[in-house]
Amino acid sequence: MSLPSPAKRSSSASSLSRTYLVAFGLLALLALARSGFEISLTRALASDGERVHLAGQQRALAERMTASAYALAAVAPVERRTADAQALQVASDAWRRGHERARLGDAVTRLAAPRTETRASLDSLSPQMEHISAVAERARTAVRDMAPSHELRMLADSLAALTAPYVATLERIGLGLARHHRDDMVRLERLTIVFFVLLCTFLVVMHLMVFRPALRSLAMLMRSQTVDNARLAEQAAQMLANTALLSVRTLNSKRNTTSCGSSRTTWSRNRARWSSNAKR
């Protein structure tokens, strides 16, 4: 099998790196989107739960206001009526503050603003709140003016008649918030399932587009290195053989040169000897 050239291997590695970076960026975006949706749904769930709790508190405060108004109408000492009037004042103030918290939210307790539907329902209770507050104030004024019990009884009946529809509306708002809470829980579960499916799909795609090609490239690189090492070893052996052959040839050349010089010297001596013998 033919191996890719170094330039082709470098291009393949660069392509895999770009694919990996793109895949990692998509995974990061997917994780950020999931975190954003989860944070939004979690805050909505927390706000709905807090408002359901506030609705229960508002109902209890409205019932306490009515009970305090009826206690004012009962025949009791002045000190007892003063204490009941103070209790009515405290319950009325807490009731108004709780309604404003549920309607507008609270930055101190990190209670977010309500949904549009819930805000509209709470705004519709504003006229009833004004009437209830007016009747509660009249009851406290009647106690200070030493009004007779039957007048206080009438004020208590008026307060009970006004708080009844208010409590009924709070119950409807609480049921609506509970329904939204269940819907948000279902959406959160679906979001978790969808993210899990997307994550599995993403991992499969990553395996097909990044990891498997990377493993193939790594295997080809290892084979290429093995072949290159074999070639280098072969070239080194050839160089050693050539060096040895050159050394042998050099040695033989030196021997031949020495032998030739000796032959010439012997021939010169024999020639001189022959010449001397001829003269004699």
User: Is the predicted pLDDT of residue 4 greater than 60, yes or no?
Assistant: no
Coil, strand or helix at 106: strand
- CA 85 to chain centroid, in Å, comes to 53
pLDDT top residue among 123 and 271: 123
pLDDT range class, residue 258, cuts 50, 70, 90? low
Token pair of 182, please? 């269940």
* Contact status, residue 180 vs residue 48, Cβ threshold 8 Å: yes
Mean pLDDT check: name the lowest of 17-21, 46-50, 276-280: 276-280
Coil, strand or helix at 222: helix
Count of other CB atoms within 10 angstroms of residue 86: 13
Q: What average pLDDT is seen over the chain?
A: 77
What is the rounded end-to-end Cα distance, in angstroms, of the chain?
Answer: 87
Condensed to tens digits (0 to 9), the pLDDT of residues 197-252 reads: 888 888 888 778 777 777 777 777 788 888 888 888 888 888 888 887 887 777 77
What fold characterizes domain 6-218?
Four Helix Bundle (Hemerythrin (Met), subunit A) (1.20.120)
pLDDT range class, residue 90, cuts 50, 70, 90? confident
Coil, strand or helix at 2: coil
User: Is the predicted pLDDT of residue 49 greater than 70, yes or no?
Assistant: yes
Most confident stretch, 66-80, 97-111, 132-146, 202-216: 132-146
pLDDT top residue among 8 and 55: 55
User: Is the predicted pLDDT of residue 271 greater than 70, yes or no?
Assistant: no
Mean pLDDT of the region 82-89:
83
Buried/exposed 142-171: b ≥16 CB within 10 Å, e otherwise: bbeeebeeeebeebbebbbebbeebeebbe
d(CA 100, CA 71): 27
pLDDT range class, residue 3, cuts 50, 70, 90? very low
Buried/exposed 33-71: b ≥16 CB within 10 Å, e otherwise: ebeebeeebeebbebbebbbebbebbbebbebbbbbbbb
Condensed to tens digits (0 to 9), the pLDDT of residues 147-184 reads: 777 788 888 888 888 888 888 888 888 888 888 878 88
